[in-house]
Amino acid sequence: MKFLIDFLDSSDITRTTIYPHLKCELDEALMLQSLSRRYIDGIEDAMGIEILSELYGVEKYEYLKHLSKIKNLLELGWINLNSLLTFKIADLNSLELLNSSISLSAPFLRLLEEGALGESENSEIKAYHDHLEYLQDQFYKVELYQKMVEVRENAGENSLGLTRLQAKLVHLEERIALRLESGELKIPLAEFLEKHKFDTQEELIFLALLKEEYNAGDVSIREMNALIDLISIDEYGRIKNRSYLEDGSRLLGDEILEYEEMLSPFGGITRAFFIHEEILQSIIHPQKKKKVRTMKLDMLVKDQDTFELHSPGTTLDDVVLNEKTRKTLNNLLMQMDKEVVARLVEWGIKDKKSGMDARIIFYGPAGTGKTMSAYSLAKSLKRQVLSFDCSKILSMYVGESEKNVRNIFDSFHDLSTKSKVEPILLLNEADQFLSARSSGPGGGAEQMHNQMQNIFLEQIENFSGILIATTNLLENIDTAFSRRFNYKIAFARPTKVQRAELWEKMLPRNAPYEKNFKVEKLHEYDLSGGQINLVIKNTAYAVATKEEPLFKVDDFIYEIEREKNGDFDSEKQLGFL
């Protein structure tokens, strides 16, 4: 108990063994000395006013000027506020401390007994026994940085609590270095950091993301702003340090990190960062000699004939849509934002281990932009699309259709797993899957169709990810399917104003037009976007065969009439299929 007695009896408290560990002002140390003497006398707590009056007297309320010192000791963790209420120190009103009961904390009592900040700081330096011990120290370093962010937000840069955390950080880094030097154990993470010679910010970003992988905790640390806060001490630093996580940075350029992008609820783009899979596996599972090789999705798709792969080039801004439909799609994007998903995880509505899930139906007449909108939605989510034409599913052999349904979802899962990406599954023209099932006994064909739909229903129920199905007739959908799709978005035929926008977007820019070409005449015809596109292509093929190619309004009207009458011959269709 020599450290305790030394602290209690000393007339010059600055000469005591524990004083350097306190990281506080002299007056604050004297408050701790007073509380310690009371504690030894059997008095575990005291009112704030008692301690202040003892040191500063009561004349002219001099003690009130020193209330902040009690708050500093709370922040340092040397005293406790004896209250049943939970609170943040930064939110405490200083006057509340005047008539509040305070007592010495367990860490301070341990300091009085041992004379140092715990066994970890005063124990013998030993070499790392395995790579997990090294990871534990590195992850503790990340925790110290996270606590420093909290202290800066709550108490400011001049906080004594911040000084104490910085001292712990310096000690920990010295200890890590000494433990590495003391042994000959090869630690993959240590070798990786030594090889790349990261600066402080790069190393901290990497360690924070690695800690996230091990803990499988809250995904918020992956967000760009959270990582920037972690490595920055002020606003200038936040602006400067963005370069560590932007394209062209060392961490991204050397393929150490990768990221996903998506729209935030406020219209901006957020990034979530991940350690490259091969690097991650080499650190997490150092005993495994076989490297995990992630194959690109486009290479995998070449070896199968179920899906077509699309890397969308258009956004929702490129699609001409009914305003109500556009608003619904924008709301859908907001609900799929990572911050929104994180809130749902926090509330217990969503499992934090699952990714982004959505089952969506786009319904409406042919040619109204359902498929293009699916691709554009994928572009906004930074996803590729694996599309399947549902007309392929029918088979003349009994039992084959049911097997084909399972194969759609099994193949999608297999491609996603092997490529380590999460594409969107697009089921085009899914009417036959979604239509109402037969309730009567029916024949063999009806029973097979019902069985196929039951399997499809089961696969939809268990699907994890984003699935979009397009159909022309929502009213024919079986209610069991309808319940399993959490978004149903209507696509209406375009209005005259929207048709004008479609003609403007689709007419060839560099083609020759007749003098006084009046495109307004074409706006009058009630066509869908798909029909307008078809008419323009057919007109272009017809005009291109002329000796003097020139686009005329009458050429378009001729093709419009043929489209509306369904009078296209096979030779003309071959030109644009």
293: helix, strand or coil: coil
Single residue among 120, 141, 156 that ends a domain in this structure: 120
Contacts of 417 (CB under 8 A, 6+ apart): none
Note whether 149 and 95 are same-domain residues. no
User: Of 162, 262, 251, which Cα lies nearest the Cα of 207?
Assistant: 251
Note whether 349 and 214 are same-domain residues. no
Rounded to an integer, the average pLDDT of 553-571 is 77
Task: Indicate whether 310 belongs to any domain.
Answer: yes
Rounded to an integer, the average pLDDT of 431-438 is 71
pLDDT of 119 reads 45
Rounded to an integer, the average pLDDT of 384-395 is 80
Q: Is 509 exposed, middle or buried (0-12, 13-18, 19+ CB in 10 A)?
A: exposed
Domain span including residue 159: 125-284
CATH number for the domain including 73? 1.10.10
Q: If you ran DSSP here, which 8-state letter would residue 296 be given? A: P
Rounded to an integer, the average pLDDT of 104-116 is 84
Task: Indicate whether 291 belongs to any domain.
Answer: no
pLDDT of 399 reads 61
Note whether 18 and 110 are same-domain residues. yes
Task: Indicate whether 402 belongs to any domain.
Answer: yes
| d(C-alpha 451, C-alpha 446), whole Å | 9
User: Of 488, 497, 384, 496, which Cα lies nearest the Cα of 434?
Assistant: 488
On the CB side of 360, CA atoms within 13 Å amount to 27
Among 19-23, 41-45, 109-113, 572-576, the least confident range: 572-576
pLDDT of 59 reads 79
Note whether 219 and 247 are same-domain residues. yes
pLDDT of 348 reads 77
pLDDT of 425 reads 93
Residue whose tokens read 């712990």? 168
354 has pLDDT over 60: no
Higher pLDDT, 560 or 453: 560
CATH number for the domain including 507? 1.10.8
pLDDT band at 487; cut points 50, 70, 90: confident
pLDDT of 159 reads 66
The total of structural domains in the chain comes to 4
Q: Positive or negative CA dihedral for 154, 156, 160, 164?
A: positive
- Residue 258 has φ and ψ, to the nearest 5°, of -135, 170
- Residue 352 has φ and ψ, to the nearest 5°, of -70, -20
pLDDT of 436 reads 66
CATH number for the domain including 400? 3.40.50.300
The helix (H) or strand (E) run that includes residue 426 is strand 424-428
Higher pLDDT, 156 or 423: 423
Note whether 150 and 279 are same-domain residues. yes
pLDDT band at 570; cut points 50, 70, 90: very low
pLDDT of 440 reads 57
User: Of 261, 200, 207, 268, which Cα lies nearest the Cα of 231?
Assistant: 200
**For the chain, percent of residues with pLDDT exceeding 70:** 85
471 has pLDDT over 60: yes
State pLDDT tens for residues 120-134. Answer: 444 457 888 888 889
Among 97-101, 439-443, 452-456, 567-571, the least confident range: 567-571
| d(C-alpha 515, C-alpha 471), whole Å | 42
Higher pLDDT, 496 or 83: 496
Note whether 80 and 179 are same-domain residues. no
111 has pLDDT over 80: yes
Contacts of 201 (CB under 8 A, 6+ apart): 231, 241, 244
Helices (H) and strands (E) in the chain, counts: 28, 11
The length of the chain is: 577
Task: Indicate whether 259 belongs to any domain.
Answer: yes
Note whether 453 and 314 are same-domain residues. yes
**Mean pLDDT, the chain, whole residue set:** 81
Rounded to an integer, the average pLDDT of 178-204 is 90
Residue whose tokens read 């378009």? 556
577 has pLDDT over 50: no
For the packed helices 188-196 and 200-215, what is the interaxial angle rounded to 10 degrees?
150
241 has pLDDT over 80: yes
pLDDT of 497 reads 92
Note whether 306 and 434 are same-domain residues. yes
pLDDT of 438 reads 60
For the packed helices 160-181 and 67-76, what is the interaxial angle rounded to 10 degrees?
20
- Residue 198 has φ and ψ, to the nearest 5°, of -65, 150
Single residue among 222, 255, 284 that ends a domain in this structure: 284
| d(C-alpha 134, C-alpha 180), whole Å | 9
Note whether 105 and 205 are same-domain residues. no
β-strands 487-490, 358-363 pairing: parallel
Task: Indicate whether 240 belongs to any domain.
Answer: yes
Question: SS in 3 state form for 521-543?
Answer: HHHCCCCCHHHHHHHHHHHHHHH
114 has pLDDT over 70: yes
Note whether 473 and 521 are same-domain residues. no
| d(C-alpha 563, C-alpha 156), whole Å | 71
Task: Indicate whether 292 belongs to any domain.
Answer: no
pLDDT of 206 reads 94
Single residue among 284, 317, 338 that ends a domain in this structure: 284
| d(C-alpha 336, C-alpha 314), whole Å | 19
Note whether 271 and 389 are same-domain residues. no
158 has pLDDT over 80: no
pLDDT band at 291; cut points 50, 70, 90: very low
| pTM of the predicted model as reported, rounded to 2 decimal places | 0.49
User: Of 275, 199, 490, 508, which Cα lies nearest the Cα of 368?
Assistant: 490
Rounded to an integer, the average pLDDT of 480-500 is 86
| d(C-alpha 545, C-alpha 559), whole Å | 15
Task: Indicate whether 290 belongs to any domain.
Answer: no
293 has pLDDT over 50: no
Note whether 227 and 272 are same-domain residues. yes
355 has pLDDT over 70: no
State pLDDT tens for residues 17-76. Answer: 999 888 888 989 999 999 999 999 888 888 888 889 888 887 778 888 888 888 888 877
